[in-house]
Amino acid sequence: MGFSQVYPIFETVRLSLTNTHLVRRSSDFIGIQNYITLLFEDVHFWSILRNSILFVFAPIFTQFLVAVPAALVLNQRIIFRGLWRGLIMVPWVMPVVIVGLMLKWILDSNYGLVNYYLRVIGIITKNINWFGDQKLVYLTIILASTWKGFAYPTVMILAGLKGISVELYESAKIDGASGIQNFFYITLPMLRPILLVSGVVTLITGWTKFEMIYVLTSGGPGFATMTLPIYMYINSFGSFRLGLGAAIAAISTTIVMLLAFFYWKYLMSKD
């Protein structure tokens, strides 16, 4: 098992220093040329990096925005609680390819349900092209990632809520604290570790899985929603430049480890 994790790292780094080609079978050592090409000569690289960071951090924020109220509600004594708890996991277990298909259908610019409803309530007069507009497509992707991913933090927060002892709330009640005060002074601080862990997990999975954006837009229109993992895929298996692809993978992995590290540090330092 150690082999299956450690070997690929060394192999990727080694390949990134060569001009290995998928079909031509050439493989010469060229030093850091691939990195120079990417960082200084590639006109798209920096916007791709910016996209990658945006598409990883924005969904963490929006997912918590849905997950915290969802967990609070599902922790109350409500009817059919078990059923609702199960149903919110549907997006989480759905295959990402089908999520892509489903969202393309519901957001379709001709027959989409969302466009229809927005038209009916008068927010828009003309159907919106959710995937074709250079700016709007960002919103579409963040919404899609939120839908797909919010169940995980919800379950984590639910588990965290169970761990908060009732006595804390009871003594707060004696002190005359309101529900809102309870939330900000007891619930939220007690949930910190959970928010921290699920945030890191969301960050890592968001970064290492390129499928969501790939099936929705393939990085387009143009390079608008291109991320490092998709760029790696296109370079390695689309234009067969394995060496260059490996360099992108190496940069990408270094960044996700740094991001995870700093995110962790930042949240720890707030104690």
Partner 1 sequence: MRGIHIDHNIKKVLLKFLTYGTLVAIMIFTLVPFAWLLVSSLKDQTTLFRGNPTWMIEKVSISGYRWIINKDIGGNILIPLENSLVVSILSSITTMCFAVSAGYAVGRYRFPGISVFLIILFLAQILQGPIIMIPWYRIASFLRLIDTRLILIIVYGTITIPISTIMMSGFFKTIPKELEEAAYIDGCTKLGTLFRIVLPITTPGIVATSILSFIYAWNDYQYALILTSSLRSKTVQVLINDLIQAMGAINWPGLLAGGVIVTLPVVILFALIQKYIVDGLTSGAVKG
Rounded to a whole number of angstroms, the minimum distance from the CB of residue 48 to partner 1 is 13
Residue 86 or 189 with smaller CB distance to partner 1: 86
Q: Rounded to an integer, what distance in angstroms lies between the CA atom of residue 196 and that of residue 266?
A: 10
CB of 161 to partner 1, least distance (A): 11
Place of tokens 């259908």: 105
Place of tokens 């910190």: 192
> In angstroms, what is the minimal distance from the CB of 167 to partner 1?
21
Type and span of the H or E element at 11: helix 2-16
Q: How many residues make up the chain in this entry?
A: 271
**C-beta of 36: minimal distance to partner 1 in Å?**
20
Given a contact cutoff of 8 angstroms between Cβ atoms, the answer to whether 182 and 172 are in contact is yes
Rounded least distance, CB 5 to partner 1, Å: 5
Which positions ≥6 away from 247 have C-beta within 8 Å? 16, 34, 35, 37, 38
Look at the block and give the residue holding tokens 């999975």. Answer: 205
The Cα–Cα gap between 227 and 269 comes to 30
